[in-house]
């Protein structure tokens, strides 16, 4: 019986090509890579004793399981189990899963709007996607989802959990969540919607600084960033610095991250990959021509910044092109290659690791910010009643032409700063840092010429023939 089972299983392995253990040619495209099978040198014979163990288990399940299963089903389950044990990012892709992967990188899909992974058998939120039901409901990076409606997540594969979270627009889903710092699990009811991820958003802060937010690295993200930078800097020559916000960006397509880093660099290495196969070694270089012409750049990251986000942050940090601010990133520094194994099935296999230009591995380490700023709720101390020279009756006017009406402008600016500080202290700090860097870039004032109306400072002033100390 056992011999027959072994013989049948070995025949199946031979037919499917497993005994030859073909190598996989990896064509780097970040979390969406395509590869063709190439024949490699055999890695040696399969261990006979382990094969016997497998066939014993296989035969017992096939003959004794409460429900009859075909050989095809059992072998597919075996493949899924083998992939699941490798790492959180390797997976078996059936036709539906492969289609979902392509949909995610194109930027439109149905569901809640969260990027997830697996941790200890539970679904872990890597980050909510901007302007989606999940973000609006208060889902946070690091949340563990332990139940979807009435179904426990424990025991489900990541693909199965994602399938449960997908659904028609308007249908509700109850998520049971465990969050660090919260004593008990709690529930959130979220209404599904059609998720259209807007990859790039821009706005002008304080009239002089460009804010550039990338929510996810999609196929066209690099081109979008390039066009927006070119247009904005062409139309507004007064821009003094750029804030690149990569917080809660789960990553995406590798080439898009290279293109984004390229927009801020004037040549140099962006990232390289290393793996077991010679085809896993790749280097990505930036081309000459910094689109921002050397403007100061601050990059915001946090623990929801993963993969392609970390590639950009690491490249700009190592090349001395930007100040990285926020908290340590997620640490997803591995390359996944999608390998077709039939017309309708594929595997997503981790084949290499990412390294920053200085040789740092991102995997399980992340990017450490140059300036650590935790996200916090900041409330300014209520100011006391202020009295200034301008409030005194009969005060002298200002020789520089500044009028008291300017105080209204100052009050409006102060109010906007206070609002930004209260709502997003990390962005507030990034803006302040850019302002400081811009001040240092200003040329020194020239010495005043005679008759220019600027008198040199004196230790004392002369009044009515008597010397008086200057206050």
Active site residues: 307, 318, 332
Alpha-carbon distance of 266 to 355, in angstroms, equals 20
Distances (CA, A) of 300 to 78, 257, 368: 42, 15, 11
Nearest by Cα to 216 from 315, 296, 115, 293: 115
DSSP run (H or E) holding 353: strand 346-355
Taking the alpha carbons at both ends of the chain, their separation in whole angstroms is 105
How far apart are alpha carbons 356 and 22 in whole angstroms?
30
Closest CA relative to residue 28, chosen from 284, 262, 217, 199: 284
Other beta carbons less than 10 A from residue 332's beta carbon: 24
243 neighbors 212 (Cβ within 8 angstroms): yes
Supply the Cα-derived Rg of the chain in whole angstroms. 30
Length reported for the chain: 471
CA-CA distance, 313 to 304, in Å (whole number)? 13
| Cα-based angle 146, 148, 154 (whole degrees, multiple of 5) | 40
User: Of the candidates 382, 384, 376, 356, which has an alpha carbon nearest to the alpha carbon of residue 368?
Assistant: 356
Task: Encode 42-54: b = buried (16+ Cβ within 10 Å), e = exposed.
Answer: eeeeeeeeeeeeb
Q: Provide the token pair at 350.
A: 């981790």
């Amino acid at each position: 019986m056992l011999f027959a089972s072994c013989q049948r299983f070995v025949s199946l392995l031979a037919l499917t090509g497993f005994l030859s253990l073909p190598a996989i040619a990896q064509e780097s495209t970040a979390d969406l890579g395509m590869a063709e099978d190439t024949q490699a040198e055999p890695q040696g014979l399969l261990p006979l004793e382990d094969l016997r163990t497998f066939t014993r288990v296989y035969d017992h399940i096939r003959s004794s399981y409460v429900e009859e299963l075909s050989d095809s089903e059992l072998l597919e389950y075996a493949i899924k189990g083998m992939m699941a044990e490798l790492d959180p990012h390797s997976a078996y892709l059936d036709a539906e899963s492969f289609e979902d992967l392509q949909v995610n990188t194109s930027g439109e899909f149905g569901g809640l709007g969260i990027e997830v992974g697996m941790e200890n058998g539970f679904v872990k939120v890597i980050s909510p996607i901007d302007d989606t039901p999940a973000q609006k409901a208060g889902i946070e990076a690091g949340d563990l989802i332990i139940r979807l409606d009435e179904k426990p997540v424990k025991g489900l594969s990541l693909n199965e959990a994602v399938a449960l979270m997908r659904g028609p627009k308007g249908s509700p889903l109850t998520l049971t969540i465990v969050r660090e710092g919260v004593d008990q699990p709690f529930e959130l009811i979220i209404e599904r919607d059609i998720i259209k991820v807007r990859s790039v958003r821009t706005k002008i802060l304080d009239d002089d600084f460009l804010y550039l937010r990338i929510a996810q690295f999609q196929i066209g993200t690099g081109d979008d960033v390039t066009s927006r930078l070119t247009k904005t800097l062409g139309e507004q020559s007064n821009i003094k610095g750029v804030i690149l916000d990569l917080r809660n960006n789960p990553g995406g397509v590798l080439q898009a991250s290279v293109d984004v880093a390229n927009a801020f660099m004037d040549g140099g290495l962006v990232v390289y990959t290393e793996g077991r196969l010679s085809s896993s070694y790749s280097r990505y270089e930036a081309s000459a021509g910094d689109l921002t012409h050397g403007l100061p750049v601050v990059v915001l990251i946090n623990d929801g910044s993963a993969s392609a986000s970390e590639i950009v942050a690491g490249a700009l940090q190592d090349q001395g092109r930007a100040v990285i601010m926020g908290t340590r990133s997620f640490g997803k520094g591995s390359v996944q290659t999608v390998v077709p194994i039939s017309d309708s099935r594929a595997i997503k296999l981790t084949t290499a690791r990412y390294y920053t230009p200085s040789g740092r591995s991102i995997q399980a380490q992340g990017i450490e910010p140059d300036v650590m700023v935790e996200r916090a709720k900041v409330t300014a101390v209520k100011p006391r009643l202020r009295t200034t020279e301008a409030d005194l009756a009969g005060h002298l006017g200002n020789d520089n032409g500044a009028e008291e009406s300017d105080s209204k402008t100052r009050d409006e600016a102060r109010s906007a700063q206070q609002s930004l500080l209260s709502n997003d202290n990390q962005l507030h700090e990034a803006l302040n840092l850019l302002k400081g860097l811009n001040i240092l870039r200003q040329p020194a004032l020239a010495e005043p010429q005679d008759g220019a109306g600027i008198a040199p400072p004196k230790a004392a002033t002369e009044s009515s023939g008597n010397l008086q100390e200057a206050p």
